[in-house]
Each structure stands twice: as C-alpha cells, then as structure tokens.
Chain A
Amino acid sequence: MSSVGQAMGGVGPSQDGLRPLPREADVVIIGGGITGAATAHYLAGSRLSVVLVEESDLNTKASGRNAGSLHAQLQMDPFRERGVEWGRKYIPALSFLVDSIEMWRGLSAELGAEVEVATNGGLYVADTDEQVELLKSKVEVETAAGLAAELISGDELRRLAPYLSPTVIAAQLSPNEGKTNPLLAASVYARAAARAGVPIFTYTNVRDVRRHAGAFEVVTEKGNIAAGKVVLATGALLPQLGSKLGLHLPVAEEPVQVSATEAAAKTVPHLVYYAGGRLTFKQAAAGTILIGGGWPARTDPAAGNPAVSMTSLRGNLRIASRVVPWVLKHKVIRTWAGVGCSTPDLMPYLGEASIPGLFIGMFPHMGMTGGPLMGRILAQLVRGETVERDLTPFRLDRFDLDMTQG
C-alpha cells in the first residue's frame, strides 16, 4: 500500500496482511465512530496496551453521517413534548455538551489536523408569538442552570444574521454552539491513536464478548482477543452486545437524513434552528449548505439500511425555506440517511457497568458534540482515575427497574 499510509500508521483493510489481530490486550475498544476513536486517542500514551476494532470502515454510522452540528441547548421538540421538568433534568447532559464543545475548539491544534470547527453560535429562530414564548421558557431553564443563552429581538437578529427571512421575529442565541465536519474528527482521532501505537482493525466484526475468569474474551471473525477491560462504543448497536453481557440498555434506532447543496459563497456563519419545525441549517467549511434537523429516514426494504425518505426530504426543505427562503434557488446535490440513536430519557449512557472492567459510552442524538468528552472520560474510567464530574445521571443501570417491573 501507499507509503504515506504506512508512515501514518495505516488503519484500513489494506493493512490487514501486514499485521495479525493481537491475542491479548489490556483494553479492547469496540466501535470506530467518534466515541471509540476519541477513547483510543485519550488512552494512547498510557502504559496500557489498547486495540480498537470496527466492523466496517471507521466513521460510517452516526458519527460520519450526521450534519456536524455542535449542540449546547435544549432541543425544542422534546422541550415542547416533555416540558420544563424534563428540561431541568436534562441540564447535566447539556453542560456535558458545553464542556465537550470546549474540547472541540482546541481539537484541530490538539490532534495536528484540521477538523473544521467553528463556534459562531446557534440561533433558534421563531416566527410566531407562541414560539417566542416557548423559547423564553427554554432560555429561563438554561440560564437558571448557568448556561449561556439569551433571547434576542427581530431587529438584533437581522443585524446578526441578515440572511434570515424578514418573517422571523426573535431568536434564542446560544453562543457556545457551532459546527464541525463530521467526515473528519473520528478519522483524525483514530490516526492520532494509531500514531501513538494503538492498532486499529477495521472490517473486524465482534460476534460476542464473554466474561471469562475475571477478564474478557472478545470474539471477532478474525480471532479472539483476551482483554482485561472492554469499552463498548457501538452507538446504536449497544443493546446487541449489551444483552449478551446481561445488560439492559434500551436504545432506539432512529435513522435520520441530511441534505447538502452545491458549494455557495460564504453566507451563514451560525447554526440555525427553527422553533416552528424540525430544522438545522448551516454552511460547511467547503461551502455546501447542510439541511437537517432529525427528519426520519426510511429503512430500505431490501438491504435493511437507512435510506432517504421523500416525505422527509420535501418537508425538511419546505421548513428550511420558511426561515431561509433563498435556499430554494440552490441545487441540492446529495441527501443521505444515517443511523441516529435515542434513549428513553434522551440522556447519555456513561460509566462502568455492573460487570467490572466493562465501560460504556453513548450520547443519544448528539454523539458528535459529546464525542471528545465522552472519549476523555471513558479513558479516565478505564485508567481508574477520578472523574471530575457527577456521572450519576448517566448511570448504566437506570432502566433496570423498568425491566424488573416488566
């Protein structure tokens, strides 16, 4: 293979002939999305031997197929449906995201490769009084918890974002928010980890994880690895491996889709949402305008993969045009569908399982934003270090009661 690749510590299937899967490791990380790759990076350099295994290419599921939003505010749909009480309970997850965005800001420098982060703020725009009222109560919940958020008037909004429709009347400004390029970060983390000596094996499907004499046996199609500790960073696939270990970790797969236009002149610095319908709207560093917001994709009946839903595509663009009418003139080049995952309370799973040595991290819906901090904390937990954060709200056994109740 290319010499460049080998110098950088190749991770792809083309490297497989060059190295066998190790028979044992101190830590096996399962999953090559942003969480797994970040965990590998933050574990690299410790004295532990670490291996990362991924069933296909790196960054192919939720991490590589989202729209690259860096979220740091309550999302309107659950806030409207679940109310203020839910919003207050969600605050620990929100401050987790804020701290993770702090890591995103320095990530390109930290990893020595561009991950295209910009944190110019998020704008949740409203065009009816009812929406403004909802935003007001949302801002109250967030500011009461010490998070940065403010309601700005239509005039201020148009000064700040002259590209918005004249019909918008107010917005919540969340200065911490921003965007990244979801195509890059997991790969950049993985390469940094590989350079620091973490072997990464793609196209290595894990069939089972067995508990075996105080240690683990990670059973893959390329052979077994005896592991002292295991990190599950498998996103939507968490319940499958979790249930083999007797864990009850409810995760709902919610495939969603995103559309991209042709590259356009630099116009939209912010992450834009709309209180009147599902929308995220932003401009990527490459100039393409990314339009998403959690519109459901369909499941392809033949392949079983997420595929683009026409109803969602048409609805998503209509909603976008209410806030940014000029986008209707721009050509959509691509629409893609990807896995998204959810938990019953929308809170992440993060911690050590009831089985000692087994660590799990999964941030529903906003795994991209949460990825860097998720990786850092998982690495701390694996190394047995103190974590300066209360992880109780994210504990893994919080739905066990539901199960025993039936």
Chain B
Amino acid sequence: MTASPVGAAGEEPVTLYYEGRPVLSRPGISVAASLTEAGIAALRTAAEGDRGLFCGMGVCGECSMIIDGQASQLSCMVMAAEGMQARRQPARVPVETETVPAPIPEGELSPELLVVGGGPAGLAAAFSAAHAGVSVVLVDERAKLGGQYYKQPPSFETDDRLDAQFIAGHNLIEAVKAAGVQVLSGTRIWSAEVPSADGNGEPVLEFFAAGETKRWVIRPRRLVLATGAYEKVLPFPGWTLPGVMSTGAGQSLVRAYRVAPGQRVLVAGNGPLNMQLAAELTRSGAEVVALAELASLTSPRHALRMLRMALAAPSLVRDGAGYLATLRRGRVPRLSGYTVIRAEGKERVERVTLARIGLDGAPVAGSERGFEVDAVCLGFGFLSGNEIARLLGVEHDLDAASGSYVVKTRAHGRTNVAGVWAVGDGAQVRGAKVAQRMGSLAGADVALDLGYTPDAAAIRHDEKVLARHERFQEALWQVYAGPRVGSQLAEPETLICRCESVTLATIDASLDEAGSAGAIKRLTRAGMGRCQGRFCGPTMVDRVAQATGEPVNPLSGFAPQPPFRPVPAGLIAADDPRE
C-alpha cells in the first residue's frame, strides 16, 4: 500500500473493505478510486485473469464488483462509504435464490423539457431554457453534475488546487440549480418509446429512467440530448491488464477524486486531452514516465494552424502552452509519432513497449522503446454516445475518418425528429467549448419553440463564440491528425471483446462465414457483454470492411436496443397489478 501523491488532506477518513481487508479512503471518492489509491488494481475476475478500472465513466463494466452483497456494481460510479464491503466479481455473478426483491415504485414526471446529460452541453441547455421560463428536468448518470469536462473535486470549498476549468464548471452548475432545474443525478435513461405525435401535431415523447433504487417514466414536451462521448481505446496485447485504463479514467481519478492512477504513469494516444492529463499528473506530484502522441506534431504547416487556433480561442491555446510548460519543468519525455504497442505484467501492468507508428497504422520495426510503469492512460479520441438518438430515429452520418456517427445537424441542434435536439459530443465530437455553446443555443431554441422569449443578445453572443470554437476545433484536429489505427496493433491472441473474452483470431476465423458485425457477434459472442459492443464494435466493423471490401456505412454497427446500459430487471419490470 502506498500513499497517493495527490490526496487532499483534512477530511474525516472512510474505511471500506476489499476482499475483507480494510482500505482507508475519504468521502466523495468512488470505490474504484479508493482502491486505486491503495494500490489495488484488480476489480473483477475474467476467464483469463483479473481486470481493472478501464473507462472510468460507467460504460465498459470492467470495474463491476460485488459491493455489500450486490453484484455488478460499477465501482467507478459508486462512492465509498464507511464499512462498505467490496469484492472482486467472478465471471459469473452469484445467484441468491432466496432473495425476493421489493417492488420499486415508479415515479412519473412531465416537464416541458428533459435534458439528458449533465456535462457542459446539458448544463448549458438546461440553464438557458430554464432561464427563459421553461420547466426542466435534467437526468445525469454521474453522482455529481459536470460531466467529464466539468467534473468537480470531492470538496470544492476546501480544495486548494482549483483551476479555471473547475471554477467555470462550478459556476455553471450553481446557475443551473438557481434557475430551478430539477436534477436527477445517478440516474440513467435506459430506454425510450419511439416518438409519435398527438392530434395537435405535438410530439409525444416517453423515456425510462433508472437510479440505483428509484425509477421514473418521463414524458417531456421537448428533449435535448447531451449524452457526451466515450473514449476510443485501441486493442493491443496486454490492454486488458489491470492498470491499463483510458485517459478519461485517469483524469477522473486526478480531477474528481484527487487520486493518481499509479506512481509511474505513461500517457499515450491521440489528442490534447492526453497532454492535459500528463500535465495534471505532473503538477499533482505523480511521475509521468512519458507522454506519447500518435500524431507527428512536427509538420511545418502546424505553425499556421496554431496561429489560427490562437486567434479563435486564445484561452485554450494558453492552457495548452501551460500544460507544455509543466511537462518541460517536470522533464517528462515527450514522444511524437509513437504509441503503446504492448503491455506486460503479472497481476497488473508492469512494462509497456512503445513504437513509432507508420502511415499504415502499423508499428515501425526497430523503433520500440520500453518503460517500467504501474499505470497506463490511453485515449485515441472519442465516439459519440448516441444510442438514444439513434433509437429515436435521429438521422446520422458516418464520419469515415473517426468511425464515429455524427448527427445531421440543423440550426441550434435541432434534429429531424420533432421535439428532439442533440448537442455536444453526443451529437458530434467537437469538445467542451463547442458543446457548451451548442447546449446554450439549443436550450434557447427549445424555449422559443415552447412560446417563451429567450434572451436574443445571449443567442447572438453564443452563435459568435460557437463559430470561433468550431474554427479552433477544425485547426486543432488538423494538428493532431495521425495515422489511422484500427486493429493493426492487435495480435491473434489479443482480446478484442473484453466482456466475453473473444480474441482477434476467433473474430477473424468467423469472417469466412460472417458478412456483418451482427453475424460475427452471433458466431463468436463478441459484443454480447456488459459494454454492449461499445469497445469491440468498431474493430468488428473494421474487420468486416477489410474482409468484404464493402465500405463502412451507418448500418454497419449494432442497432441500438433497450436497455441502453445493463439495468437490473427489477428496474425494468412493469408494476404488477396483483401487488
């Protein structure tokens, strides 16, 4: 057990138990973060070994633990509490046939506007609509508002390392609360009815929401989807070892819980979030053994792009320069054009190998470099969390470069489905600043649509700022344009489907029969587990496209079906009229 270099002092400790052993933690810290701080990485047991914290945002299910006797608790989302008993979850959850769960009452809500997601886009939409007089319910799956970008520290009042990002988030959250928005935190929309229209042409919308022990049917007049994105992590040998996690998971540990992912952390991937995390880790005292960026950031054309970025969003460029300065001061080695190709270790990651990546997305022989680590954070961009939008019939395009769906946008986030707006990274991955302005505009547009009078000057201002940030994003991703890497780093024995432990060799063997990702799924079980194919789906789509020569299209992946996330049957089942 090791003391964390980043823990904040001055709070009453909380004792929880891991496999019966006491672990000291603090209030407001997730179970997974508490265990990470104590040097424990193994959270669940799969067929071939233990798994650890991976996505850190409740998507992948790798952190599923048995907590106080209840299986399949996402330890990245559940907060540590005094006396809590956490155990590694076996590959098959235990069955207690004596248990007769109590019926869970179902609440009903009929706000004028339902906002799904409590990140920058959702908060801004909720605020601007509520500010104009609209009654708003905001549903957010995290325990605390803020989403990934504005996630808040355990104690805002006592934290001594607040930066501008924390403070802006705090202010937006306070404004949302003051505007009278009804917030359901720790709650997920797990299903929806297909929209229809009533006799007056008004949209008829119906959503099903579940918390841990509460549930609602929500029938709003309008909907703003601000569901955000989840991180893309590429499969490579060893990526399932405990200690290998997404950059977002690493950042949640550092920013939301003030816990370091490890003592010797390597950060790699593609995009500016990796640089920010490396800087935050360095500033908090953790050792970052290297920061590897897939893109070659040495093109002479970058100077012009940087200038364009500086003009569009000077504060973001200042942030970037600040991160770089921190990394220089901390003497963090920076590798450009490199990424992780292998992770090794016995019970958790102990070593990683990096290599230069060629234009074909494959490692360049002879370029390998090894590092001793106890944690790796990886981020290769983001994929939109769009299952609700797709189920509702919102039209999407496929962005071939990223493999991500993009909502066919109309002004102010309006979609083709009457009564439904989609904003932020859930609609198209363009970062928090674009998300927030889009959210604000969508909220005002909803208000207008419902007959309220939103602030016209605010709308003009938002439009202007949005345009600037869109220019920034465009230039940014030109700078970070790297070779397209799909499954080139995986070897035949690499697990592609983490949930069902399906290897690349098994998936490839099915390709002599399967002509679609759905057919691979049925033949191999890849994509049938807790993450519902979110992490293996893109690889399967990629392999099918390679095998058949058919280009990837918007129907190549899995069609969204309820439940959008694993939900206890007790939260789904209809009330029994006999009870």
Mark interface residues in A1-34 (1 if CB within 8 Å of B CB, else 0): 1101110101111110000000000000000000
Shortest CB-to-CB span from A314 to chain B, Å, is 4
List, in ascending order, chain A residues with CB within 8 A of B540's CB: none
| Residues in chain A near residue B208, CB distance under 8 A | 310
Complex: how many Å from CA A307 to CA B558? Answer: 13
B1 within 8 A of partner (CB): no
A326 touches B95 (CB 8 A): yes
Q: Does A253 contact B (CB under 8 A)?
A: no
User: Which segment of B368-376, B407-415, B508-516 sits at the interface?
Assistant: B508-516
Q: Which stretch, A330-338, A345-353, A373-381, touches the partner chain B?
A: A330-338
Partner of B512, one of A1, A330, A333: A1
| Contact A4–B512 (Cβ < 8 Å) | yes
B566/A262 in contact, CB under 8 A: yes
B574 engages A2 (CB within 8 Å):
no
Q: Contact between B393 and A318 (Cβ–Cβ < 8 Å)?
A: no
A13–B548 CB distance below 8 A: yes
- With A329-B570, A331-B72 known, 9 other A-B pairs at CB within 8 A are A1-B547, A12-B515, A286-B525, A302-B393, A308-B562, A321-B576, A328-B568, A329-B568, A333-B566
Partner of A331, one of B101, B561, B567: B567
Residues of A within 8 A of B99 (CB): 325-326, 329
Residue of B90, B528, B572 near A332 (CB, 8 A) is B572
CA distance A75 to B406 in the complex (A): 46
Which residues from chain B contact A335 at a C-beta distance below 8 Å?
561-563
Give the number of residues in A that approach B within 8 Å (Cβ atoms): 71
| Chain B hits for A4, CB < 8 A | 508-509, 512
30 A–B contact pairs at CB < 8 A? A5-B512, A12-B514, A12-B547, A57-B513, A60-B522, A64-B522, A187-B523, A190-B513, A202-B513, A265-B90, A310-B562, A313-B572, A314-B574, A318-B573, A318-B574, A318-B576, A320-B569, A327-B569, A328-B568, A328-B569, A329-B70, A329-B71, A329-B96, A329-B99, A330-B568, A332-B567, A333-B530, A335-B562, A335-B563, A336-B561
Query: Which residues from A are CB-within-8-Å of B164?
Result: none
Residues of the A chain whose Cβ atoms lie less than 8 Å from the Cβ of B194: 298, 300-301, 307
CA distance A262 to B529 in the complex (A): 7
Contacts of B191 in A (CB 8 A): 310, 313
Q: In the complex, what's the smallest C-beta–C-beta distance from A201 to chain B, in angstroms?
A: 11
Interface flags for B515-534 (1: CB within 8 Å of A; 0: not) read 11011001101001110100
Closest to B546 in A: A14
Rounded to whole angstroms, the CA-CA distance of A351 and B124 in the bound complex is 66
Q: Which residues of the partner chain A approach B562 to less than 8 Å between Cβ atoms?
A: 308, 310, 313, 335
B314 proximal to A (CB < 8 A): no
A12 touches B511 (CB 8 A): yes
Which listed residue (B72, B512, B519) contacts A10, Cβ 8 A?
Answer: B512
Tell me the minimal C-beta distance from A2 to chain B in angstroms: 5
Q: In the A-B complex, list the 3 residue pairs whose CB atoms are closest, starting with the nearest.
A: A5-B512, A328-B570, A10-B512
Residue of B96, B393, B572 with highest tally of chain A CB at under 10 A: B572
User: Nearest Cβ distance between residue B75 and chain A, in whole angstroms?
Assistant: 15
With the chains together, A333 CA to B563 CA distance in Å?
7
Asked if B515 and A265 make an inter-chain contact with CB atoms under 8 angstroms apart, the answer reads no
- Residue of A58, A266, A326 with most chain B CB atoms under a 10 A cut-off: A326
Q: How far is the CB of B579 from chain A (nearest CB, A)?
A: 10
Asked if A387 is at the interface (CB within 8 A of a chain B CB), the reply is no
B512 near A262 (CB under 8 angstroms)? no
Chain B CB within 8 A of A315 CB? yes
The reply to whether B515 and A202 contact each other, CB–CB distance below 8 Å, is yes
Residue B91 CB within 8 A of the other chain? yes
Interface mask (A197-215 → B, CB under 8 Å = 1, otherwise 0): 0000011000000000000
Query: Which A residues touch B566, using CB under 8 A?
Result: 262, 331-333
Partner of B513, one of A11, A311, A326: A11
Instruction: Knowing A183-B522, A326-B99 are in contact, say whether A314-B511 is a contact too (CB < 8 A).
Output: no
Which listed residue (B92, B518, B559) contacts A57, Cβ 8 A?
Answer: B518
